[in-house]
């Protein structure tokens, strides 16, 4: 029985090695366009790709987490705490319990839910939980703290997000080689500035 199995597997291997689809083909980089969109289009035309339900992901509004200033600002603000979950598509960041070395019996956990991608005061839903334990750390109680710390955290995240959004806007601003005149500039003054 073993010999028969080996014989069948050997024949199967030789049969597949003879297939044209499995043979090594030498290709040139010139045959493939460098633009990914054109490569995808070429593969689709040759029947080498597929689309799910005929979708053409052109109408999606998904943007990468690193380009979302609110998301980036939240992660930068909470970078001193270990994270349990950071789900961009779900719009939530949850930290692990964090305690300062001075107060071992107390630890905090922060949950940030994103209600909008726009930088505005109601874009974030922040919850802070405080866990207090006894001296031997056996009996612990958890309470939700909606104090000034929530407002301060929200303010810090929004300030950083506004700064990141300004940096992105400045980076993507079109650069023009033209100089614009200001009201009140005389034509002679402009000529002098151009020839300096």
Question: CATH code for 67-171?
Answer: 3.30.530
Structure tokens at 96: 């692990």
Q: What is the DSSP letter of 176?
A: -
* Extents of the domains making up the chain: 67-171
Tell me the backbone φ, ψ of residue 44, rounded to 5 degrees.
Answer: -65, -40
Q: Chain-wide mean pLDDT for the chain?
A: 76
Convert the pLDDT of each residue in 49-91 to its tens digit.
555 444 454 444 444 556 788 998 999 999 888 888 888 888 8
Convert the pLDDT of each residue in 156-176 to its tens digit.
999 999 998 888 888 877 766
| Per-residue pLDDT at 48 exceeds 90 | no
| Per-residue pLDDT at 189 exceeds 60 | no
Residue 37 CB coordination number (10 Å):
8
Higher pLDDT, 190 or 171: 171
Confidence band of 140 (pLDDT split at 50, 70, 90): confident
Note the pTM of the prediction, 2 decimals.
0.54
What mean pLDDT do residues 173-189 have? 62
Report d(CA 181, CA 190) in Å as an integer. 8
């Amino acid at each position: 029985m073993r010999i028969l199995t080996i014989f069948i597997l050997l024949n199967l291997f030789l049969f597949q090695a003879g297939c044209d689809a499995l043979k090594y083909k030498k290709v040139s980089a010139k045959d493939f366009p460098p633009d990914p969109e054109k490569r995808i289009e070429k593969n689709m035309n040759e029947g080498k790709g597929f689309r799910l339900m005929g979708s053409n992901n052109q109408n999606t509004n998904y943007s990468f987490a690193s380009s979302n200033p609110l998301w980036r600002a939240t992660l930068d603000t909470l970078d001193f705490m270990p994270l349990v979950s950071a789900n961009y598509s779900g719009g939530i960041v949850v930290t692990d319990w964090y305690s300062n070395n001075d107060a071992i019996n107390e630890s905090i956990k922060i949950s940030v839910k994103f209600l909008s991608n726009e930088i505005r005061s109601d874009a974030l839903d922040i919850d802070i939980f405080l866990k207090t334990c006894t001296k031997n750390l056996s009996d612990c109680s958890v309470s939700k703290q909606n104090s000034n710390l929530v407002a301060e955290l929200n303010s810090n995240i929004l300030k950083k997000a506004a700064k990141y959004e300004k940096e992105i806007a400045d980076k993507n601003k079109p650069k023009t080689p033209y100089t614009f005149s200001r009201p009140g500039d005389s034509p002679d003054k402009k000529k002098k500035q151009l020839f300096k």
